[in-house]
Amino acid sequence: MAYWPAHIRTVFDMNHLDAAISTTFGQLPAILLTAPDGAQANITLYGAHLISWRGADGRERLFCSAKSALDGTKAIRGGVPVIFPQFAERGTGMRHGFARVSNWRVAEQGIDEGWAFAVFALASSDLAPQDAQAWPHGFALRLRIAIRANELTMGFEVHNTGGEAFPFAAALHTYFLVDDIASIRIDGVETEELAITDKFDHVYENVEPRLALVDGGVVLTLRQEGFRDAVVWNPGAGDAAALADMADEEYRRFVCIEPARLAGESLQPGQSWQGEYHVS
Ligand code: TA6
Q: What is the DSSP letter of 100?
A: G
Query: Ligand 1 pocket test: which of 96, 205, 246, 250 has the largest number of ligand atoms within 8 Å of its C-beta?
Result: 96
Let me know: does 280 contact 218? Beta carbons within 8 Å. no
Q: What is the identity of the amino acid at 171?
A: A
Nearest residue to 231 via CA among 192, 198, 275, 186: 186
User: With a 6 A CB cut-off, is 106 part of the ligand 1 pocket?
Assistant: no
User: With a 6 A CB cut-off, is 95 part of the ligand 1 pocket?
Assistant: yes
Nearest ligand 1 atom to the CA of 239 is 8
User: With a 6 A CB cut-off, is 231 part of the ligand 1 pocket?
Assistant: yes
The CA distance from 119 to 48, in Å, is 9
Let me know: does 19 contact 110? Beta carbons within 8 Å. yes
Write down the pTM of the prediction: 0.93
Dihedrals phi, psi of 16, to nearest 5 degrees = -100, 110
User: With a 6 A CB cut-off, is 228 part of the ligand 1 pocket?
Assistant: no
Residue 6 to residues 14, 156, 235, 253, Cα–Cα distance (Å): 12, 37, 41, 33
The CA distance from 205 to 232, in Å, is 11
SS3 assignment, position 253: helix
The CA distance from 208 to 84, in Å, is 22
Q: Is 23 left (phi over 0), alpha (psi -120 to 50) or beta?
A: beta
| pLDDT tens per residue across span 233-269 | 999 999 999 999 999 999 999 999 999 999 999 999 9
pLDDT tens across the length of the chain (280 residues):
334 444 443 344 344 456 899 999 999 999 999 999 999 999 999 999 999 999 999 999 999 999 999 999 999 999 999 999 999 999 999 999 999 999 999 999 999 999 999 999 999 999 999 999 999 999 999 999 999 999 999 999 999 999 999 999 999 999 999 999 999 999 999 999 999 999 999 999 999 999 999 999 999 999 999 999 999 999 999 999 999 999 999 999 999 999 999 999 999 999 999 999 999 9
